[in-house]
Amino acid sequence: MTDTTPAVLFVCVHNAGRSQMAAGYLRALAGDRIDVFSAGSEPGDAVNPAAVAVMAEEGIDLSTATPQILTTDAVRQADVVITMGCGDACPIFPGKRYEDWQLDDPAGQPVEVVRGIRDDVRRRVEALIATLV
């Protein structure tokens, strides 16, 4: 992260669905204008295959993404922290911008449902970009 490039951290419990889709969209739509990170309070073993599939439909490859553990350093580096159902697991630092996105968990959902979650994530990411660049 540079002093002029904002950094965004997406956090959900398993870092396997919502946060991965949001990070994928932000990287694809903002390019190098925003530094993008994602993590989970209890990371899963792999990214949700349905999330990988619906993002591939959008031309975004999550097939090599791996869930990461949420660290205090990751939060410290971020200018904006977006939480998605991780409760109180995210450390709070003064001066950071926090948003909690209420999104359904795609875990165990059919692809048709995950597409709707993906589309909601995209709308939110597009609105976020407008506030950062």
Q: Which long-range contacts (CB under 8 A, 24 or more apart) does 110-114 make?
A: 110/50, 111/50, 111/53, 111/54, 114/17, 114/48, 114/50, 114/51, 114/53, 114/54
Residues 121, 49: Cα–Cα separation, whole Å: 17
Residues 95-114: tens digit of each pLDDT: 899 999 999 999 999 999 99
12 is catalytic: yes
18 is catalytic: no
Pick the catalytic residue from 65, 75, 90, 114. Answer: 90
Pick the catalytic residue from 12, 78, 114, 125. Answer: 12
Residue range 53-58: mean pLDDT, rounded: 98
Pick the catalytic residue from 8, 34, 39, 86. Answer: 86
Residues 90, 108: Cα–Cα separation, whole Å: 24
90 is catalytic: yes
Residues 7-46: tens digit of each pLDDT: 999 999 999 999 999 999 999 999 999 999 999 989 999 9
Q: Hey, which residues does 83 pair with through a beta bridge?
A: 11, 100
Provide the whole-model pTM: 0.93
